[in-house]
Amino acid sequence: MLTTRPRGTADILPGQTENWQYIENVAARVCREYGYREIRTPIFEHTELFIRGVGESTDIVEKEMYTFRDRGERSITLRPEGTASVVRAYLEDKLHAGPQPVKTYYIGPMFRYDRPQAGRLRQFHQFGIEVFGAQQPAADAEVMALAMDFYGRLGLDDLELHINSLGCPECRAVVREKLQQYFQPVLNELCTNCQDRFTRNPLRILDCKASRCAELAREAPTTADCLCPDCRAHFEKVRQHMQDLGIPYILDKRLVRGLDYYTHTAFEIMAPGIGAQSSIGGGGRYNGLVEACGGPPTPGIGFALGLERILLALEQRGKLPDIKVGPVVFLAAIGDRAIREGFSLLARLRAAGIAADMDYQGRSLKAQMKYAGKMGVRYAVIIGENELQKGSVVLRDMIAGSQREISKDEAIRALHS
């Protein structure tokens, strides 16, 4: 059926878009105050970027990407996440040659072929930030603080911030060996995916949502148990900064995140009560990602927050703002000459910065006023034969029910005040 949208997509309709714009405006404002500037990258990239950047062993690359061949037989993928694209832009557009650190943010659609559920669609939207060239633990704390500040400004003050350290590659090698030793005796009891992860990336077993795998992993070694002295010291300083800022958090040693590029600090933000998947955002450090994409060794850290999940949390908590939309003024004109005069006055009202509209269906005056009432306009400007002869208009206050006859110029001044 041509009039049915693809599964896992949604139309964002008038009356809904205002809520999206509200969230996007709050995101832009908080980023500006923290010194982040917007970046916009293509919706599709060469597939190799995500294979190298996101990781071959991730569910995203293995199962969820929308990949196709273009007419030049190049493998192209709709972006499943934002970080790899920003890294590519950081290198290709030589942002690394300018002052460091580079602090960016983005808002836009992402695409993953997954089972649609509440707040999780195949085309979904993320607000994310990326910081390149900042190694200090304070940068980790700032990224998490910005996320929690953003949520706080939206009125979401009952969220849980979970943090962990995934360590450096040396730490990961240690935990990898310990995890393989731990899971070897029960390998046949793991799900098919985790049996495959056992060899390629056993750390991902800790992230499995299958009940039996979660049960078997309950006593498994964690990255937090295998940190080298430098990584342990870095993470301790991050925690100190968070305590200094007064931002509560939960130390979650089983938090690993779903992407291969994370190192050191990782975090996830939970909104209890929004469904089986309570995460509404997360992020962490990725100190090896720029190098993996062909650039110089560069520390990086960022997050991505799901806008659909945020809207769901706001709606369930009654935190969506009451946004008034539509015109403030409705211009009602009766007769051809009045319509011409009214149409010119409508242009003058809009030029003065006054949101205004008029009838385009030839309704009677009574029907026009009824329509204006349904639109919720505050004022109506009425032009009929009497007003044409006098060179005036009737300005009606739709809430007070009062009206007065004044000149067009006076009407514009009154509505502009």
CATH code for the domain defined by 329-416: 3.40.50.800
What pLDDT is attached to residue 204?
80
The domain spans of the chain are 17-168+228-316, 329-416
Give the tokens for residue 183: 């899971």
Q: How confident is the model at residue 251 (pLDDT cuts 50, 70, 90)?
A: very high
What pLDDT is attached to residue 3?
81
pTM here is 0.89
The runs of H, that is alpha helices, within 225-335 are 229-245, 289-292, 307-316
SS3 18: helix
Question: How much of the chain, in percent, has pLDDT values that exceed 90?
Answer: 70
Residues 230-235, mean pLDDT to the nearest whole number: 95
CA-based radius of gyration for the chain: 28
- Tens of pLDDT, residues 83-106: 999 999 999 999 999 999 999 999
- Tens of pLDDT, residues 342-375: 999 999 999 999 999 999 999 999 999 999 999 9
Report the alpha-carbon distance of residue 134 to residue 90 in Å, rounded.
14
What pLDDT is attached to residue 276?
53
Residue 122 has pLDDT above 90, yes or no: yes
Residue 144 has pLDDT above 80, yes or no: yes
Burial (Cβ within 10 Å: 0-12, 13-18, ≥19) of residue 91: middle
Q: How confident is the model at residue 118 (pLDDT cuts 50, 70, 90)?
A: confident
Residue 42 phi/psi, 5° resolution? -60, 150
Q: How confident is the model at residue 275 (pLDDT cuts 50, 70, 90)?
A: low
- CATH number (3.30.930.10, 3.40.50.1370, 3.40.50.1220, 3.30.450.20) of 17-168+228-316 reads 3.30.930.10
Residue 207 has pLDDT above 90, yes or no: no
Which of left, alpha, beta for 177 (phi over 0: left; psi -120 to 50: alpha)? alpha
What pLDDT is attached to residue 211?
85
Residue 46 has pLDDT above 60, yes or no: yes
Residues 248-277, mean pLDDT to the nearest whole number: 82
Residue 130 has pLDDT above 70, yes or no: yes
